[in-house]
Structure 1
Amino acid sequence: MESVDKGVTSAALTALPKKRMVAPESWMALLLLWLVYAMDANSRQMFFVVLPSITKEFGSSAASIGLYATIITMSTALIAIPAMVWADKGGHGWRRKYRHLPIVIGYTLFTCLTGFNLLTGTMGVLVAMQVLSHAFGGAGESIEVTSLAEWWSKERRGLALGIHHTGYPWGTLIGGFAISGLLSVYGPENWRIAFMLFPIPMIIVFALYWWYCNEKRYDRLHAHITAAGETPPLTADLEHGAGAPKGSFRVAMRNPNISVIALVSLLAIVGYFGISFWLPQYLAFVAHYNFAEAAAYSVLFTITGGVGQIVWGWVSDRLGRKLCLMAVFIWLAVGMLLFKYSYMSLGTLVAIQLFAGFALNAPYTLVYAIAFDSTKPGTTGIAGSIINVGIYLGGFGPFVIGAMIGAGGGFGQASGYNNALYFIAGLMVIAFFLTAFFTRETTGWFRAHDRALVSKKICNVQ
């Protein structure tokens, strides 16, 4: 694992071609944090994948199951900010693993407990277990994204975050097919097995990450980045410091590139969780796929979702993160409207999902990058947690979507599903205008051409 010998000096590193100077430690940390984040994401996405089975077992209506999904999803934001304030006090960089561990234990434990029939024989206890799992999982996401940002140079942050955040579409794609396989073998009534088995891969993945993250490797990382002429993610005083300066939360909330971006994140996640709730129900009850097929076909958009995150993140390093975010919202508005035609054939369903998927996951890469670019020293974790809260407060989406489906005639009628798509597309247009007028570009070509209504100074953009 240790790719660079101790004797390698900064001068020797400087002599290497700069275009090849991404540190091996950055790539390895990215791989391991991708695996951790993918497991975290699966701990939360499993509920949506098996939702038709849960709906059938408990005999829930569209409005009630939408409400339960909303409560569970919004709980992801429950402890993100206090958890990150606490985590920042434990140190930055490689030291984040010490306060990351209790969070991982939390979401792993409550995900596993969801798999026990004795505990989740009633909807109330099932929701409670998932609320606790999602709350710890949301805090885990904040730490995982922030940790990744602290293993890469600032100049390559968009690409790194883009690759890392494919843990949600591609990691959950793998998880979706695994759950579909379990449902096929054991029957849809045994959906709890997926939750019960979750700790096995989670323990393996986090143990590898814990082993790799140490001070020696992090020091080599900084030496590589400095030799490449790029900006290290942390200064020495921040790496060893005791957390963010006092009043950092208030300062961050006054910054539109954090607070408005958090609002934009909320709108974006309504689209993501809205379609995640909408699609398996639609496929099972309107398009009449069986439950195993609905579980598998409802995650196809994640194939291009991961590609889109990488491409938009890479492009944002060059053209601008805000510019890319605006383009993504227009793309999403069109994609959501196209889902109206997904009943026509399997080929149409696949084509629409692949088209919409190219932009569906991209906002989360970009909003984190904009916020991290705009933070004051030592406050990256707090900025990330504010974005995380904004994202998961958008968990009200399933409730609204469920209510619209119910008002349109219930699970078996297409009318309510179509109204839900119009609602989601409208939110994407609103997000476009908020981004255009009330945030500032942080990097790339568009930075010199941005004409927003807010100043660079208030956004902490030089």
Structure 2
Amino acid sequence: MNPSEPPGIVPIPEAARPKPPQAPVRWTLLILLWLAFFLNQADRQIFSVVLPLIRTELGLTDAELGLIASALVWTYGLLVPVAGFIGDRFSRRNIIGFCLLFWSGATLFTGLCSSVVQFVLLRGVGTGGGEAFYAPSANAMLGENYRHNRSFVLSIHQSAVYFGIILSGLIAGYIGERYGWRHAFYLFGGLGIVLAAVFFRLIPEDVPAAGPASRQESTTQIVATARAIIRKPTVILLTLGFGCMVFVNVGYLTWMPSFLVDKFGLSLTQAGFSALFYHHAGAFLGVLSGGKLADHFARVNPRNRLVIQALGLLLGAPFIYWISMSQSQAMTYAALFGFGIFRGWYDSNIVASLYEVVAPTIRSSAYGLMLACAFLIGASAPYLLGVLKPTLGLTIGLASLSGVYVVGGLLIGAGAIWFFEADKEHSL
């Protein structure tokens, strides 16, 4: 056993792993999971797109709207490590199907909300809690069923993030303007419920990756894994840097459509599309170029993956400032695109950098804990920006996010310079 591996965690024998299904089912699985991930991201984003309509109709304050957005991220951050642990012990097909059904139902009923408490419970706890159980099981299921072209398949699956965020802005804005904000939630929630039924119908139930563990065994494994992770300063610094990135990203996604409506007088459809399209178009190109750069320079020294991440945050910071301070739509969109390029550099190495310093047998657990910490750090961004909006305004609030990017870049850079060599794993 590798010395850095915690006791009590035994690799799953090859013979005990679920066998890949036949080709038609394999590609059906990818298509259905792509659609599920699309709705996962879309359901998370539509609130921000129709936020001005909700504020006008219900008379909610900016702080209350920010609290609603933060509640989803807090819930997600708390539950995602639990979801990763459960995903190794129960049928992943059932976990994905039921969580899709749960968060879609919560999204649909969000259209009936009329108070802050209802929004927090349905959108924050319901949608956020259901979505937390999707990614760990979905990525593991794809990895098991597409072993010979795993990277390609996971890249296709990841592309649903960009399409989900961009198209939800366009569709939700259009529906909100013409039929009311409630119908946007009805549409996306209803589609998810239908997709859950199709998923259960077409995808056969799989065998759990590991047998169920007793409560004492589970607790021992979790504690041992956490200890192995926190002993490495590089992992801690990567997690704090990830938290800075999530803080900026969640704050931007929540308030950017409203910012464009207020500053340039755009319609909801225009603002929802523009706030998301230019940034994520840049991010798509940034992911591709950042991944290529990191793979090239990592052959010389694996620490260069962290260097690319740090540069992504440091070079992206000025563009975040220009987004807020630009006086024309064209300059704002150019800044959004540049911000996206360097956000993509960072995104391309989130998992790869972590895997350089974490033993193979605890990578899923480490990533789950990293996600939890980062999302709990970043969850407060929508609420804080909402609190600052009436006094400082969104222009200053969004511009200040550039400083958070700088802090994140410096933290990851410190890990690369001072701790990486001692923390890196050799048995990869």
Matched, 1:248 2:213: no
Q: Which residue in 2 is equivalent to 1:318?
A: 296
Which residue of structure 2 lines up, in the alignment, with residue 68 of structure 1? 68
Counterpart in the other structure of 1:85: 85
**Residue 178 of structure 2 aligns to which amino acid in structure 1?**
V
In structure 1, stretches of 5+ residues that fail to align are 1-22, 219-237, 409-415, 440-451
Q: Which residue of 1 aligns with 2:302?
A: none
Separation in 2, partners of 1:458, 1:154: 30
Aligned residues of 1:114 and 1:126 also touching (Cα < 8 A):
yes
Q: Does 1:348 align with 2:331?
A: yes
Decide whether aligned partners of structure 1 residues 396 and 428 sit closer, same or farther in structure 2, where only a CA change above 3 A counts.
same
1:308 counterpart letter in structure 2: G
In structure 1, C-alpha distance between the alignment counterparts of 2:148 and 2:292, rounded to whole Å: 13
Q: Distance in 2 between matches of 1:156 and 1:317?
A: 17
Against the structure 1 CA distance between its residues 69 and 183, is the aligned structure 2 distance closer, same or farther, given a 3 Å change threshold? Answer: same
* 2:13 matched residue in structure 1: none
Matches within 5 A, 1:431-446: 431-439=408-416
For the pair 1:289 / 2:273, whether they are aligned, the reply is no
Q: Deviations over 1:70-101 (max 9, x none)?
A: 233322212111222122223xxxx5323333
2:176 maps to which residue? Answer: 183
1:31–1:41 distance in 2 versus 1, CA, 3 Å: same
CA-to-partner distance for each residue in 1:427-447, whole Å, 9 max, x for gaps?
Answer: 1111111111225xxxxxxxx
Equivalent of residue 299 in structure 1, options 267, 276, 289: 276
Which residue pairs with 1:43 in the alignment?
A: 43
Q: CA deviation at 1:146?
A: 4.2
Correspondence for 1:6: none
Gaps (5+ residues) in structure 2?
1-22, 299-304
Output the amino acid matched with 2:107: T
2:419 aligned to 450, 454, 461, which one? 454
* Separation in 2, partners of 1:152, 1:139: 21
Q: SS in structure 2 opposite 1:72?
A: helix
Instruction: Between 48-57 and 141-150, report the one with greater CA deviation.
Output: 141-150
The answer to whether residue 137 in structure 2 is matched with residue 172 in structure 1 is: no
Deviation per CA, 1:328-355, whole angstroms, max 9, x where unpaired? 112320210110344413x333322222
Correspondences of 1:365-444 after superposition (within 5 Å): 365-393=348-376, 394-408=378-392, 416-439=393-416
Q: Distance in 2 between matches of 1:53 and 1:46?
A: 12
- Partners of 2:306 and 2:106 in 1: CA distance: 37
CA displacement at 1:196 relative to structure 2: 1.5
Name the CA shift for 1:179/1:304 in 2 (closer, same or farther; >3 Å): same
- Tell me the matched-pair count: 388
Q: For 1:454, give the aligned amino acid.
A: F
For 1:106, the equivalent position in structure 2 comes to 102
- Separation (CA, whole Å) in 2 of partners of 1:46 and 1:278: 12
Q: 1:315 to 1:329 in 2, by over 3 A?
A: same
358-367 or 201-210, larger mean C-alpha shift: 201-210
Q: Higher helix fraction: Structure 1 or Structure 2? A: 2
Using a 3 Å threshold, how does the CA distance of structure 1 residues 257 and 111 change in structure 2: closer, same or farther?
Answer: farther
Report the residue type matching 1:360 in the other structure.
R
User: How much has 1:357 moved relative to structure 2?
Assistant: 1.9
Q: Among all aligned residue pairs of Structure 1 and Structure 2, give the percentage whose two residues are the same amino acid.
A: 20
The residue matched to 1:121 in structure 2 has which SS? coil
Aligned with residue 360 of structure 1, among 319, 323, 343:
343
Q: Could you tell me which amino acid in structure 2 is paired with residue 141 of structure 1? A: A
SS at match of 1:426: helix
Q: For residues 210 and 84 of structure 1, what CA distance do their matches in structure 2 show?
A: 24
**Deviations 1:34-55, CA, capped at 9 Å, x for gaps:** 3322211112111111111112
Aligned residue identity for 2:366: A
Residue aligning to 2:313: 329
How far did residue 214 of structure 1 move?
7.6
Would the aligned equivalents of 2:52 and 2:258 in 1 still touch at CA under 8 Å? Answer: yes
In structure 1, the partner of 2:14 is none
CA distance in 2, matches of 1:49, 1:273: 13
TM-score (norm 2): 0.79
In structure 1, distance between residues paired with 2:79 and 2:119: 20
Q: CA deviation at 1:284?
A: 1.6
Distance across 1 between alignment mates of 2:140 and 2:47: 25
Deviation, 1:153, is: 5.8
Using the TM superposition, give the Cα deviation of residue 197 of structure 1 relative to its aligned residue in structure 2, in angstroms: 2.0
- Whether the 8 Å contact between 1:79 and 1:139 is mirrored in structure 2 is yes
The AA in structure 2 aligned to 1:136 is G
- Counterparts in 2 of 1:260 and 1:361: CA distance versus 1, 3 Å: same
Paired with 1:257 and 1:25, the residues of 2 have a C-alpha distance of 40
Residue type of the alignment partner of 1:316? A
Helix, strand or coil for the counterpart of 1:407? coil
**Equivalent residues of 1:173, 1:303 under 8 A apart:** no
CA distance in 2, matches of 1:305, 1:24: 32
In 2, Cα distance between equivalents of 1:373 and 1:96: 27
